[in-house]
Structure 1
């Protein structure tokens, strides 16, 4: 009788997980793009303004 090929089964499970994760990411990105396309306003922001960009420098970051 043939032995089960556990490494093949594991690889198939890993590929299925990866594919499911990618589908979730694409779905999330599509929802974000749709929200941005609708022109939702960020809280405290006037319509037509761009979102504020925070600039950080090496001095602002805490040392490890």
Structure 2
């Protein structure tokens, strides 16, 4: 029976941890560069209120296509 390669598993965990840390740093940098408006025009998921209303009206997640 083959032995478990613990070094491989450890390396995969380290890579995943590093990826999450980079993603967090990227999100933090974006938030710093693009501050939210003070009037609270954005919805819960970070979209503008106008964009959220347009999506609700069409009933799907895709942006509305001009006709």
* Shorter-chain TM-score range: 0.5 to 0.7
TM-score normalised by L of structure 1: 0.52
- TM norm structure 2: 0.50
Number of residues of Structure 1 aligned to a counterpart in Structure 2: 47
Matches of 2:59 and 2:21, distance apart in 1? 36
Which ranges of structure 1 fall in alignment gaps of 5 or more residues? 40-47
- Unaligned ranges ≥5, structure 2: 42-47, 63-67
Q: List structure 1 runs of 4+ shifted beyond 4 angstroms.
A: none
Greater gyration radius = 1
Please, what is the CA RMSD of the aligned residues? Answer: 2.9
